[in-house]
Amino acid sequence: MAEQVHLISPEEYLAAEEISQVKHEYIDGYTYAMAEATDAHAAIVWNLTVLVGTILRGTPCRGRGSDTKIRVQEGRKFYHPDLSITCDEPMDPTCAYMDRAQVIIEVLSEATEAFDRGLKMEHYQALESLQEYILIAQDRVSATCYRKSPDGWWRMSLRGPGDDLVLESVDFYTPMEAIYEGVVIPPAPGLHFVSE
């Protein structure tokens, strides 16, 4: 006889997250533990938090880290993005999630990149409030920026060395190199130089 799987409700998930030592994402009744971050990942998130936090001061917008969940599809999914920004009405201080993110930033890892670029992006882009979804590589100076156009279509742009990362919806820009300050970028795979 097959083992029966117990799916948990969004309410059970939120209650369990309050006491859990490990963050979990929630998708249609299933929970998934989040992996530990690498030093490069942590440094990039820290740099972004400082840079974005500085420009948000004195504005109605607020940034949140990965402790704040994003609720999508009427609570059937909860994700922990690395950084999110809302410019909506003040959040309930007792609430552990956000419904109205305007900007979501994810720092990619080898294990999560396909999901972040695929199904998770599809779920995030269903948020009516979302204007920009930014994916930051941690193994090279690179960002993929998805922006919602006035007609509702999403357009993509790439940023690399020498470019600025721009968040149009909150009037933010910074050199890409500032995001990677203190991060050691490994050499590109397959490139081997031999001295003679």
Task: Write the CATH number for 132.
Answer: 3.90.1570.10
What is the predicted pLDDT for the residue at 13? 93
Residue 127 lies in a domain: yes
Can you give the pTM of this predicted structure?
0.88
Residue 29 lies in a domain: no
Residue 22 lies in a domain: no
User: What is the rounded CA–CA span in Å between residue 21 and residue 101?
Assistant: 25
Residue 161 lies in a domain: yes
Residue 28 lies in a domain: no
When divided into structural domains, the chain yields a total of 1
Residue 144 lies in a domain: yes
Most confident of 30-34, 77-81, 109-113: 77-81
5: confidence class by pLDDT, cuts 50, 70, 90: low
User: For residue 133, what are its two tokens?
Assistant: 């979804």
Q: How distant is the alpha carbon of residue 27 from its chain centre?
A: 16
1: confidence class by pLDDT, cuts 50, 70, 90: very low
pLDDT at residue 142 is higher than 90 = yes
User: What is the rounded CA–CA span in Å between residue 27 and residue 29?
Assistant: 6
Residue 103 lies in a domain: yes
- Structural domain range at position 72: 37-179
Chain length of the chain: 196
Residue 97 lies in a domain: yes
Helix or strand or coil: residue 116? helix
Most confident of 7-11, 21-25, 144-148: 144-148
Q: Where does residue 143 rank: exposed (0-12), middle (13-18), buried (19+ CB within 10 A)?
A: buried
* CB 35, CB 109: distance < 8 Å: yes
